[in-house]
Amino acid sequence: MIPRVWAPSATRVDLVLGDVRVPLTADGEWWVGDTDLPHGTDYAYSVDGGPPRPDPRSAWQPDGVHGASRVYDPGTFAWTDDGWSGVDVRGHVVYELHVGTFTPGGTLASAVEHLDELVSLGVDLVELMPVAPFSGVHGWGYDGVSTFGVHEPYGGPAGLQAFVDAAHARGLGVCLDVVHNHMGPSGNYLGEFGPYFTDAHETPWGTAINLDGVGSHEVRRWVCDSALRWFRDFHVDALRLDAVHALIDFSDRHVLAQLSDEVATLADALGRPLSLVAESDLNDPVSVTPTAEGGWGMTAQWDDDVHHAVHTLVTGERHGYYGDFGSPEVLRKALTRVFVHDGGYSTFRARDWGRPVPPETDGHRFVAAASTHDQVGNRALGDRPSARLDPGGLAAEAALVLLSPFTPMLFMGEEWGARTPWQYFTDHPDPELAAAVRDGRRREFGGHGWDAVYGGEIEVPDPQSPETFRASVLDRTELDDPAHPEHARLREWYRSLIALRRAVPDLASGDRSTTDLVWGGSGHGDGPWDGWLVLHRGGARVVVNLSDQPAAVPVQTQRPVEVVAAWDPAVVEQTPGGALVTASPRSVVVLA
């Protein structure tokens, strides 16, 4: 590796090799060395005589975010996936996992040991939560400080390459969650090198990344180069881009449009599909609109409105941003029009919000889930739906998401109704930062109505406590617990629903024009819906009875149907123009 670093305002930049400092030569805004550093060399940069700092494009931080960088040659890994043709995220089943809590080992290597389980479940693509280096050993990963690196406790860059290679060998694609909208509070030295940040815009995490000000040409290049590198050198199939609404860019060409076009060019060169999935709070179809039409050109985007509509209907929760959700009418809008807030008033935001999605837009362009790291981990106690819902309620949530017209995503452990929470945890060695995070987390939940949700005063788990982290590690022994057979039963239900997506074209379709929802029963007012629902998917029907009593559900259909999956026994009688389904309490029946 030839040392090369962008430092446009510096008068001197030194390459630091142990106790030796070697001056670099100015080349425009860049500083360049004349020595080729071999794989495994530790190095750092000093700007204007300052302390040694990690490379802003460091691939390897073996000694943490404050230590020296180490040269990593991606060509040293022996790939075995030459026959891999790739996977487009649209319409495929995604499985989100956090490396540190997916297994007791907490590494990429230990995660490989469970990939066959995901294949058996029917998963198509594994989404890794951020693996960028961050402060300490344990954390969510969204406070990383190196967009080019891999957290050393997870296995470093070689560990990620080995994981991707192992996944491809099993027919699984890999999506990597990446964060470009902000950097973590510890180990972020970018500002010492150049104008990576700007005071012109504000984000929830402070000053914004500089995408449209002086020097932004190289910051945009830094963003795009890091993304392209994961596809090219690490063979990943997709990137999930965190909180793109915080990538504030008023230039003529949005940085996401630039990235989309560059990724499309690389996909053509590699001969396999490469996907970009945006997480956006804007409820704006600009994210998936082609760049030629003025959009950002994302392959897909997360759609939290579907989660909110399903979750509130089944659980009855209405606090915080759930206030406008909870009725079958709202669920129908989410399933057919994608966004619930698509230009109308949002009570939580106290303003009109969003834009409508054009009717012809494929539903597969939107990722839907019953659980995500956000929707579980950002609860005050990090409790999953399985902590509150009965197995029938969990089965209903699974059916409504997996058999929807969207691209479905599962959150690790969801498939068996894991009882372990998934809480917010950090491991900052700096005591002042640790205290600030701890106090901030408690203040964050002070006025969100959590006491009403949990039925009394609560104590928010200490993010810095090792027990908070340990409690969040998946416990697979639940699957073998004879006292709780519902875990294995639920996993088999997920497996059956995913198999139906492959076997029944109507259930796999992203055509929203053939999707509808009808309902009936006594389920009105506040609280969980206790009536019945029928989801129409082309010629298939998904009957959901959320009542604690059997329900006789009229099902309209132009063709004879039969039961292809049922959570509990059901009786189907053919009637003129359809069928009458007698559904068991708290159950689901799929007809095709």
Residue numbers annotated as active site: 242, 279
Q: Where are the beta strands (DSSP E) in 495-577?
A: 515-520, 532-537, 540-545, 551-556, 563-566, 570-575
Encode 464-501: b = buried (16+ Cβ within 10 Å), e = exposed: beeebbebbbbebebbeeeeeebbbebbebbebbbebb
Q: At what angle do helices 304-315 and 391-402 cross, to 10 degrees?
A: 150
The DSSP symbol for 244 reads G
For the record, the structure tokens of 458 come out as: 């609560």
Give the three-class secondary structure for 64.
coil
Question: Distance between CA atoms of 527 and 525, rounded to whole angstroms?
Answer: 7
In one letter, which amino acid is 202?
E
CA dihedral 506, 496, 571, 394 (to 10 degrees): -100
How far does CA 366 lie from the centroid of its chain?
A: 12
Cβ(30)–Cβ(4) below 8 Å: yes
The DSSP symbol for 42 reads E
Give the three-class secondary structure for 516.
strand
Radius of gyration of the chain (CA): 25
For the record, the structure tokens of 406 come out as: 């969207």
Number of C-beta neighbours around residue 369 at 10 A:
27
Question: Distance between CA atoms of 416 and 391, rounded to whole angstroms?
Answer: 10
DSSP 177-225: EE--S---SSS--GGGTS--EEEEEEETTEEEE-SSSTTHHHHHHHHHH
Residues facing residue 556 across a β-bridge: 578
How far does CA 467 lie from the centroid of its chain?
A: 24
DSSP 439-456: HHHHHHTTTSSHHHHHTS
